[in-house]
A = this chain, B = another copy of it.
Amino acid sequence: MSLRYGILGFLSKWEASGYDIKREFDDVMSVFWHSHLSQIYPELNKLEKEELISSELVPQAGKPDKKVYTITRKGREWLMNWLLAPPEAPKMKDVFLMQTFFMDNIPVGEVLLKLQMYKKERQQRLDKMREIIQIRWESIKERNVMKARILMSTAVLKRGMEQEIQYIKWCEETIRLVEACKNLWGKEEAAQTQNTYAETEHAEVPFPTAVSFSEVEDIFLEYFGDLIDDKGRNR
């Protein structure tokens, strides 16, 4: 239900074809949304049938024809009503965090590798955002104009960048934590065997490689910083 508002929102400022909209979803809007052309085209046709947008065929030299869409008054009304509605509860879906949560099932070496790979993934997203914001920044300064749309879109870009920076930092910190607690995984070659016996673990039988908490308490407290309220402890 949100894709259509992403389209209406974009068309509220610029006329565009499905292909143009996809380009935007891959560029600035990738901070908060992603979509395939095969979803955008049918949605555009649906929006036109509902008279929220209208289209015009524009011939191009040396390129295929374009179907350029324009938002209608009704479309603007729908967009505004959506914008004024109370915000939805955030619905988390983070595949990488899910994997991390279950990484006790694979050897430590693999855990560290995955964290490093993911850090790179996030670094690339950040680099892309930095580029986008740099270009926009120069353009704003050059044209010397500020508008509400520019303000809000840069605010969103800031949020995106902060998110990537913090995710990268978390990867680094977690790599350090895992390295400091390597022994919890036991020998790498034994990992397969360990897992086979893990099903008895819920009955409070200690895991072969479990250690007493006090051994790692300091590492833990440092990792968490002030996120934990550690009452009854003298430090």
Q: Which A residues form the contact surface with B (CB < 8 A)?
A: 2, 5-6, 9, 12-15, 29-34, 70-71, 73, 76, 79-80, 82-84, 86-106, 110-111, 114, 117-118, 121-122, 125, 130, 133-134, 137, 140-141, 143-149, 151-156, 158-163, 166-167, 170, 174, 177-178, 181, 184-185, 195-196, 198-199, 201-202, 206-207, 209-216, 220, 223-224, 227-230
Contacts and interface: CB of A to CB of B under 8 A. Distances in A.
Contacts of A228: 133-134, 137
B202 A2 contact: no
Closest 8 CB pairs of A and B: A104-B148, A32-B97, A9-B102, A104-B149, A32-B94, A148-B184, A14-B202, A146-B213
A213 B70 contact: no
Question: By DSSP majority rule, is chain A's interface helix, strand, loop, or mixed?
Answer: helix
Given A83-B105, A100-B156, A13 B201 contact: yes
* Residue of A96, A111, A178 with highest tally of chain B CB at under 10 A: A96
Contact of A80 (B89, B97, B195): B195
Contacts of A181: 146, 148, 151
A170 B146 contact: no
Given A163-B166, A230-B137, A153 B101 contact: yes
Contact of A102 (B12, B159, B161): B12
A82 to B, nearest CB: 8
Contact of A13 (B29, B198, B215): B198
A70 to B, nearest CB: 7
Nearest to A212: B144
21 contacts: A2-B98, A5-B102, A13-B201, A29-B98, A80-B106, A97-B159, A101-B156, A104-B151, A111-B152, A130-B229, A133-B227, A133-B228, A143-B213, A145-B211, A145-B212, A146-B181, A148-B184, A151-B178, A158-B170, A158-B224, A162-B166
